[in-house]
Structure 1
């Protein structure tokens, strides 16, 4: 079986994630290809798409949200993702049990006497008028049947039981707005797709195909790290005849789509700026293809990072009139120049100033 080293996997990841060459794709198609973008920080998807698409116009993403072609919703790993409306409807039922289990993991004692069917029905009844509500407003409107459960526990579980979206203006370009929830079915005009009654798992198989297209080659544990779902072995087994297999340097089996791009490991990789919680890093259990173990904590701490030669080499943030870059290791003079040049382009995109600056420390 062919062994792919970390550099080969890195170049495959960059190609699948549209980070090796910026793509000429409509924004909705890019969101679909990536399987959504993690979006708990509302402005971060704009940076993620700016780094991936040629000539990205942030208004195009805002228009998708206000036009209800894309939505912000809890989904993979029970984190807020910006996904296409079609994927939200197709995938929500498959993720619901996982999301409920994660809430129970945090609030089991508070929720032990709550009938979840009653809670879901009560929440739907409150939201049927279509008016987006904050979590506090929603919980206050519930019947007082569960006094032992705190409002946070009820709100978190209700958000897992009943598919919801975070309604605009939350998530629009350069807009600050709190979270207001609306029923996904009301927002998009139809109910989510139900799970098949025969126990088959077409959604699991589709998730695997889509994951490999955007993240492969990857292991089954990487797939689980991306979506948070435990019950995918049957989907992997069903699709195995369609897939090709490799091994990484640590002996793990990696699966992939036969015709998917796997560039030569020597392919040059440009500097790229990634937003907080980008799935190019979080979408794997073993992240060594793109980030050193010593820096792994950055990926879950919300640090924005810079890729140099395809690997995490710096962090970045913004000040009033500047993008500030802090290298994690010494950079060569050509690399510092490339980082500063891309940082200037990012500063022009992000900062509403006539002469935005770049500060490269270290």
Structure 2
């Protein structure tokens, strides 16, 4: 989880497949224990999306994301929130949550709506929970094969530690840490890729400060790609095994230029919530589970060897999901 800088997790069950696809002998209980043990937390962070991140990263990075989170909510609901003093709303919300009682978004809004009756409940709730008050979404939401609504508690209350403040000077150590951590997981990458991944616009200073520590490449279009000097860079002919990825996986959404992993004709899959299958490192099929069947639909013709590799990995996936999948259906283009 730390290596990936978190996993996108608005659908609570998707991270389990994301971890299974990356770790040998991953067991869902490992993530359950990390969530209930408060080593990992669900919170709004990169791109104003719910992510699973380590507790240490959530506390270290949240303040650096505050301005972006606020701007995105205010930009989305500019008309509904016109004339609202957001700092006053934030102070009132923190006062309500000071009793350390977990609340749903509806419960929090109900405590405040007499003072701000104008905005729709959903808008006021998203402003509070996704932007103004750093919140943790508490278990049992996010646990394996459990369905639970969102109950919120301030992040520092749940983790029993304070959120690290943003330094008063312009050194931006958190931005530099984000850059190094991102490149360790996703490099080589362009500055636009970093920005698309985290949603932060103010990283040029961090990139400038770290430039002498990085190596620079050029892609086929002449774009500058940055990487860490000691990062692994396998030979292009290195075989990449078949992998089943969850919806909104980091391997796809971690970049602005998603053509590096998806063909141009299928780029829309990256934001449509489709679960995907990598064959030789590229998105080659989609998959879903319905009616006790694992359905796989290829995006191009598959060779016999590729079909065999996909089917073998699909069998392992059905064993992991353990939810009465009785059949694997592979539809391949001819």
Smaller-chain TM-score bracket: over 0.9
Q: Compute the displacement of 1:143 (Å).
A: 5.5
1:258 maps to 2:258: no
> Counterparts of 1:264 and 1:67 in 2: how far apart (Å)?
40
Which residue number corresponds to residue 115 of structure 2?
145
Q: Compute the displacement of 1:289 (Å).
A: 1.3
Structure 2 regions of 5+ residues with no counterpart? none
> Counterparts of 1:94 and 1:304 in 2: how far apart (Å)?
30
TM normalised by structure 2 equals 0.97
> Counterparts of 1:192 and 1:357 in 2: how far apart (Å)?
47
Q: Over the residues paired in the alignment, what is the CA RMSD in angstroms?
A: 1.1
Count of equivalent residues = 331
In terms of mean alpha carbon deviation, does 113-122 or 247-256 score higher?
113-122
The equivalent position to 1:268 in structure 2, one of 218, 234, 239, is 239
Cα offsets for 1:68-103 (capped at 9, x unmatched)? 110000000000100000000000000111011111
> Counterparts of 2:318 and 2:290 in 1: how far apart (Å)?
10
> Counterparts of 1:318 and 1:296 in 2: how far apart (Å)?
22
SS at match of 1:348: helix
Cα offsets for 1:52-74 (capped at 9, x unmatched)? 00000110101110111100000
The equivalent position to 1:311 in structure 2, one of 244, 267, 282, is 282
Which residue number corresponds to residue 246 of structure 1?
217
> Counterparts of 1:309 and 1:282 in 2: how far apart (Å)?
18
1:288 maps to 2:243: no
The equivalent position to 2:54 in structure 1, one of 65, 73, 84, is 84
Which residue number corresponds to residue 329 of structure 1?
300
Higher relative contact order, structure no. (Cα contacts within 8 Å, ≥ 6 residues apart): 1
1:299 maps to 2:270: yes
Which residue number corresponds to residue 27 of structure 2?
57
Which residue number corresponds to residue 66 of structure 1?
36
> Counterparts of 1:258 and 1:285 in 2: how far apart (Å)?
22
> Counterparts of 2:35 and 2:21 in 1: how far apart (Å)?
20
Q: Compute the displacement of 1:199 (Å).
A: 2.9
Q: Compute the displacement of 1:106 (Å).
A: 1.3
Which residue number corresponds to residue 18 of structure 1?
none
SS at match of 1:109: coil
TM normalised by structure 1 equals 0.90
Which residue number corresponds to residue 117 of structure 1?
87
Q: Compute the displacement of 1:338 (Å).
A: 0.4
In terms of mean alpha carbon deviation, does 204-213 or 110-119 score higher?
110-119
> Counterparts of 2:24 and 2:293 in 1: how far apart (Å)?
23
1:231 maps to 2:195: no
